[in-house]
Amino acid sequence: MDENCIFCKIINGQIPSTKIYENDYVYAFLDIMPVNKGHTLVVPKKHSKNLLEDDVEDLKHCVEAVQKIAPAIVRAVEADGFNLGVNTNKAAGQAVFHTHFHIIPRHEEDGLRPWPQRKYDEGEIDPVKEKIIKALEK
């Protein structure tokens, strides 16, 4: 645990939360600033800064919890689907540096739109592919 981490404090009961699920590895609670009602955060109990620092076993437990919790949220709030989000680092919108998965219930007419998509310019896609493949070798 990280004594300065707000999610660690929530897991330890030092800060109140609206817990909806807990097991030996995972703690899930309603986001206090939801995108839509039912927006839930699923966090590993073991502290890690972000998804890239987590043990694979901890991530496995988080994904299993998401598979259990998400359908229940969808039923409970009568949603049409859900988005699963993981923000990694500040540039991607991570505000709390403890790995967490957002389960965001979605309704057909909720007015939310996915992020904008862009096209590659002519001849641009292959150099990007090559850079990624090279980076995987490191």
Burial of 99 from C-beta contacts in 10 A (0-12 / 13-18 / 19+): buried
20 touches 42 (CB < 8 A): no
Query: Catalytic one among 39, 47, 98, 100?
Result: 100
CA 48, 50, 53, 59 dihedral sign is positive
Which 3 state secondary structure label does DSSP give 83? strand
With b for 16 or more beta-carbon neighbours within 10 A and e for fewer, the 19-39 pattern comes to ebeeeeebbbbebeeeebebb
List alpha helices for the chain, DSSP H.
Answer: 6-11, 56-76, 125-136
98 belongs to the catalytic site: no
Active site residues: 100
